[in-house]
Amino acid sequence: MEPYDAFDAIDPFIAATRAFDRLKGALAGPESAALSHHELEDLVGLQGRELLRLLFQGHLDLREKREREQTRQTQQAAVRGADGQVRPHREVGHSRLLACVFGTVIVTRCAWRGKGLSSVHPADTELSLPAHLHSHGLRRLAVLEAVRGSYDQAKEAIDRSCGKVLGKRQAEQLVVAAAADIDAFYQHKIPLPSTAATALVLQADGKGIVMRPEALRPATLKAHQQNRHALRTRLAPGEKPHRKRMATLACVFDTDPAPLRPHDVIAPPEGRGTLRSPRPGPKAHHKWLTASLIHPPEHVIAAAFDQAEARDRDHLRDWVVLVDGARHQLDLIQTEAGRRHIKVHVLLDFVHVAEYVWGAAHCFNKPGVPEAETWVAGHLTTILHGQAARAATEITTQADQTGLRGTRREGVDACVRYVTGHLDRLRYDTALAAGWPIATGPIEGACRHLIGDRLDITGSRWGLTGAEAVLKLRALIDNGDFDAYWTLHLDREHQRLYPTPDQHNYELTA
> Mind listing the pLDDT tens digit of every residue in the chain (510 residues)?
344 444 455 789 999 999 999 999 999 999 998 999 999 999 999 999 999 999 999 999 999 999 888 877 665 467 888 888 888 888 888 999 999 999 999 999 999 888 888 888 999 999 999 999 999 999 999 999 999 999 999 999 999 999 999 999 999 999 999 999 999 999 888 888 889 999 999 999 999 999 988 888 887 777 777 777 666 667 667 666 668 899 999 999 999 999 999 988 987 766 666 667 778 889 999 999 999 999 999 999 999 999 999 999 999 999 999 998 888 999 999 999 999 999 999 999 999 999 999 999 999 988 888 889 999 999 999 999 999 999 999 999 999 999 999 888 999 999 999 999 999 999 999 999 999 999 998 999 999 999 999 999 888 899 999 999 999 999 999 999 999 999 999 999 999 999 874 444 444 443
pLDDT at 232: 64
pLDDT at 239: 62
Helix axis angle, 370-384 to 388-402, nearest 10°: 140
pLDDT of residue 275: 67
Residue closest to 262 by CA, chosen among 251, 250, 275, 272: 272
DSSP 114-174: -TTS--B-HHHHHHT--SSSB-HHHHHHHHHHHTTS-HHHHHHHHHHHH-S---HHHHHHH
Query: Taking the model in full, what pTM does it have?
Result: 0.86
Q: Please, what is the Cα angle at 440 between 438 and 441, to 5 degrees?
A: 110
Render the burial of 348-369: b for 16+ CB within 10 Å, e for the rest. bbbebbbebbbbbbbbbeeeee
The separation between the first and the last C-alpha atoms of the chain, rounded to the nearest angstrom, is: 19
DSSP string, 57-98: HHHHHHHHHHHHHHHHH-TT-EEE-TTS-EE-EEEEEEEEEE
Beta bridge partners of 509: 78
